Amino acid sequence: MENNNLLVVCIINAGFVDLVMDAAREVGASGGTVIHGRGTGNKKIAKTFGVTISPNKEVVLIVIDEKIHEDVVNAIYKKAGLDAPSQGIVFTLPLERVAGLSELNNEEESSDAQK
Amino acid sequence: MKEVKTVKTPHSDFETKKLSLLVIIVDQGVGDLYIEQLGTLESNLQLKIVGNGTASKEIQNLLGLNEIKKDIVFAIIRQEKLDQAFEYIETRFKLSHKHKGVAFSVKVTSLIGVSVYKILSNTLELKPNGGK
């Protein structure tokens, strides 16, 4: 069974989830899930590059359609990337199978198929 | 051009079954039901953590969702068992809004340690590959 979904993983400083979700929603992503974590960044690297690394991190997981993945990744990186206060890292993983995507997405797909 | 040599590890002489990482995101409190079911599907490793949903207020109202805390279940399962796992998950998702969630699987591309593989794949003895 062919699957065209990807998992977007976005690791950001705590407190910037809305920034990421707003950016992702603007280009067509639906919802996401947030996990709290703790960064273990190298202190020497932080000193060399003159940045402060906040240990409190949040990981945002968003399942998206492959078609919009470049838009989503670019939008997130523009608003919440390493140069922004959120210091975000974004990457995607190919998904083998997916179940339970929102009803709204299914409605969109069925209306596209009817056209 | 430098020739690239492939090294055959001793483990490739045995038949191995492919594994997947199954992730299930559901409302808080519902995750244990899936963990229990995954146990019957020969999955020997499950991890449950608590996260937050990010659905906007409009969507929450539209779908009748009011729980924002989520259970996130990570499980390692054999790929041949994925059909059964997803069948169960999809049936449960259809039960009610309370059981609605998202599930997805990612292929495990590498793993080290024979014992670790045996535990994760629920295999007691590795069979020889027959020189393939």
- Contact: B105, A95; criterion CB under 8 Å: yes
Which residues in chain A are contacts of B70 at CB distance < 8 A? 33
Per-residue model confidence (pLDDT) at position A104: 45
3-state SS of A74-95?
Answer: HHHHHHHCCCCCCCCEEEEEEC
Which residues in chain A are contacts of B55 at CB distance < 8 A? 31
List chain A residues with pLDDT less than 50: 1, 104, 107, 110-111, 113-115
Is residue B95 predicted with pLDDT exceeding 90? no
The pTM of the full predicted model, rounded to 2 decimals, is 0.80
pLDDT in tens, B40-83: 999 999 999 999 888 666 666 776 665 588 999 999 999 999 99
Which residues in chain A are contacts of B71 at CB distance < 8 A? none
Residues on A contacting B at a C-beta cutoff of 8 Å: 5, 7, 17, 21, 25, 30-36, 60-61, 63, 93-104
Beta-bridge mates of residue B4: none
Question: What ipTM was estimated for this complex?
Answer: 0.77
Joined together, the tokens standing for residue B90 give 């999809």
Q: Grade residue B97 by pLDDT with cuts at 50, 70 and 90.
A: confident
Residue pointed to by tokens 């968003």: A62
Helices A69-80 and A17-26: crossing angle in degrees, nearest 10, is 140
- Interface mutation vs chain A, best among B30, B62, B76, B104, most A CBs within 10 Å: B104
- Contact: A104, B86; criterion CB under 8 Å: no
Spatial CA neighbour of B27 closest among B91, B85, B92, B113: B92
Per-residue model confidence (pLDDT) at position A53: 72
Per-residue model confidence (pLDDT) at position B104: 95
Closest by Cβ to A34, choosing from B54, B86, B106: B54
Per-residue model confidence (pLDDT) at position B75: 96
Dist CA A48 CA A45 (whole Å): 5
- Mean residue pLDDT across chain B: 83
